[in-house]
């Protein structure tokens, strides 16, 4: 998906940009087609050749991509070989995408959001896969959304974060809230602590027990989960209604997130951005690439 935002449309472009094996790229493209996110269209008849086009629901994931980019830039501790300069074409300024409330346009912090359970709330069914977790080691080092994908791309880590954002902080409670297996939960909790997304404190009055808390870096993941929640409510709605009802306390309105331009505070649309990519390799020279999604 990241490659798509940076202009990849053809199979060999996805392979080159991701550095992944052809079989992996082919499998993931098929999966995106099955989920109505991409369509395969012929761009040449003789010989017959295809490219991939994002559907409306795929393009609706653009705010999530921007929220991820914002987090990665702010919090990733790893040096990244890839740098991107985004320009908001309507105001022509170099822009940093910021998560704001659609109603009052203030930057969103989870501290200003209250929530209640909606009609469509349900517990996610626990399914287990023996497949080893995909890590970022595979492929090249030219991935922009490296650290954030390792966290948000992991179903269990995301469920743990959901619990923490709803004020659930102790091991046993998180276990009940997520329906995870004990070993997977302790595994993910220690990984999230290592990543400095979480930290632990002693439970007051009970020194044998600890609580998990979100660091500032962890709190920074909130807008990404909001974009996912809104996308899910729109494209994969539960028949009963939304699972979660959020209110922005600063304006009192139902919370809707928008990724806004740091220069002009208007929404950054997929059609309104251009980018410049810089890859610095070990010798320190640069390969430029630019375009628009």
CB crowding 30-43: b at 16 or more within 10 Å, else e: eebeeeebbeeeee
Q: How far is CA 97 from the centre of its chain?
A: 14
**CA-to-CA distance for 18 and 37, rounded, in angstroms?**
18
Count of chain residues binding Zn ion (CB under 5 A)? 11
Closest approach of Zn ion to the CB of residue 271, in Å: 13
Q: Is 217 in the site for Zn ion (CB under 5 A)?
A: no
Contact 34, 52 (CB under 8 A): no
Q: Is 264 in the site for Zn ion (CB under 5 A)?
A: yes
Q: Is 24 in the site for Zn ion (CB under 5 A)?
A: no
Mark the segment that binds Zn ion (CB under 5 A) among 127-135, 219-227, 236-244, 263-271.
263-271
Binders in 81-110 for Zn ion, by CB under 5 A: 88, 91, 101, 103-104
Mark the segment that binds Zn ion (CB under 5 A) among 51-59, 154-162, 177-185, 261-269.
261-269
Residues 116-145 as x/- pattern, contact with Zn ion by CB under 5 A: ------------------------------
Q: Is 261 in the site for Zn ion (CB under 5 A)?
A: yes
Complex with Zn ion: residue 124 or 251, whichever CB lies closer: 251
Closest approach of Zn ion to the CB of residue 152, in Å: 24
Q: Is 248 in the site for Zn ion (CB under 5 A)?
A: yes
Mark the segment that binds Zn ion (CB under 5 A) among 121-129, 212-220, 244-252, 282-290.
244-252
Complex with Zn ion: residue 280 or 292, whichever CB lies closer: 292
Binding positions for Zn ion, rule: CB under 5 A: 88, 91, 101, 103-104, 248, 250-251, 261, 263-264
């Amino acid at each position: 998906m990241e490659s798509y935002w940076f202009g990849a449309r053809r199979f060999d472009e996805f392979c080159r940009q991701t550095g992944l094996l052809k079989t992996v790229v082919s499998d993931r493209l098929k999966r995106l087609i099955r989920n109505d996110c991409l369509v395969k269209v012929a761009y040449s008849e003789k010989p017959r050749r295809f490219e991939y086009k994002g559907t409306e629901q795929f393009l609706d994931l653009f705010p999530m991509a921007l929220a991820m980019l914002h987090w990665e830039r702010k919090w990733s501790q790893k040096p990244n070989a890839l740098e991107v300069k985004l320009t908001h074409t309507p105001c022509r300024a170099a822009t940093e995408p910021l998560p704001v409330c659609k109603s009052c346009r203030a930057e969103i912090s989870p501290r200003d959001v209250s929530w209640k359970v909606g009609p469509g709330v349900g517990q996610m069914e626990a399914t287990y896969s023996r497949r080893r977790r995909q890590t970022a080691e595979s492929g090249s080092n030219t991935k922009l959304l490296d650290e954030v994908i390792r966290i948000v791309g992991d179903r269990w880590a995301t469920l743990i974060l959901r619990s923490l954002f709803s004020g659930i902080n102790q091991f046993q409670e998180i276990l009940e809230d997520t329906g995870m297996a004990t070993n997977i939960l302790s595994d993910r909790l220690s990984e999230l602590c290592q990543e400095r997304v979480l930290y632990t404190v002693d439970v007051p009055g009970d020194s044998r027990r600890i609580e998990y808390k979100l660091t500032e870096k962890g709190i920074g993941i909130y807008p990404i989960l909001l974009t996912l929640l809104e996308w899910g409510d729109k494209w994969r709605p539960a028949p009963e209604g939304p699972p979660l009802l959020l209110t922005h306390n600063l304006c009192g309105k139902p919370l809707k997130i928008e990724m806004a331009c740091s220069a002009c505070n208007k929404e950054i649309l997929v059609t309104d951005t251009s980018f410049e990519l810089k890859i610095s390799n070990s010798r320190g020279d640069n390969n430029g690439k630019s375009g628009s999604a």
